[in-house]
Amino acid sequence: MKRFSAWGYLAFTLWGLGMALAVKGWRLGALAVVELAFGLAWSREGLGPLRRWRFWVLLAVAVALGPWLVRRSSLTGADVGLSWLGLSVGLEMAGRALTLSLAFSLGLSSLSLSDLVAVFDRLQLRGLGFALGVAMNLLSSLQEMARVTFETIRLRGGLRRPVVAMRLFLITLVSNTLRYGDQVVHAASVRAFEPQRGRRMRVSLQRADLWLVAALAVSSVACWLFFA
């Protein structure tokens, strides 16, 4: 059940993205704990990325790439020191990817298409909320289209010529995506949807949103003080 309005979840998303880009080291771990606590309390559907094994594979690859990204022209210390430095770089990369993904997923997964439209209407950006909502809904359809296209090319022996197969895959995927977008616009026009006209949708700021902003500010200060 939603605890905050669209403004609250949007504020959490912006805060999480900003903190994930600004902090490093142990502060990333503290940020991940705060995001997990928020997700378990008020946005369980936003924890979806943690249930996908591909996401964990991506984090493992980031950790494994750390030692390869640390290069020195001449080694003055022990190889163990270099290994620990590379491992810390990989862990920081994985932590940043984790916190960025959670910040985006936890906030926006709780927003419906009507919430996005209302928020951008309030910001005098009518139509942008509808376009963003359509783009977010397109991601799942795009994944399915990519899977079907790849399987079709594979079953017809297209993988024997990788360059041609990649070209066919990209052309098919782009054309299907454009066709899907065309169908969405056509369906909206049939229902007489006009971004610049009609009644403006509104979303009100709740008291819980203000408490959330205050809690996020306290969390930011605590993160900098206790993990200096």
pLDDT tens digits, residue range 33-67? 999 999 998 888 888 888 888 788 888 887 877 76
Instruction: Concatenate the DSSP letters of all residues of 182-195 into one string.
Output: HHHHHHHHHTT--T
Give the residue from 38, 108, 102, 96 showing the smallest Cα distance to 62: 96
Which amino acid, one-letter code, is at 60?
A: A
Rounded CA separation 38/107 (Å): 10
- The structural domains of the chain, with segments of one domain joined by +, span 1-111+204-228, 127-199
To the nearest whole number, what is the mean pLDDT of the chain?
80
DSSP letter at 123? T
pLDDT tens digits, residue range 144-200? 888 888 888 888 887 788 888 888 888 888 888 888 878 877 777 776 666 556 556
Rounded CA separation 104/9 (Å): 10
Q: Is the pLDDT of residue 106 over 80?
A: yes
Which of 83-87, 147-151, 211-215 bottoms out in mean pLDDT, i.e. has the lowest? 83-87
Q: Give the distance from CA 168 to its chain's centroid.
A: 28
Count CA atoms closer than 13 A to 4's CA, side-chain side: 25
Which amino acid, one-letter code, is at 135?
A: A
Decide if 26 contacts 85 (C-beta within 8 A): no
Q: Is the pLDDT of residue 104 over 60?
A: yes
Rounded CA separation 121/224 (Å): 35
Beta carbons within 8 Å of 142's beta carbon, 6+ residues apart:
173, 177
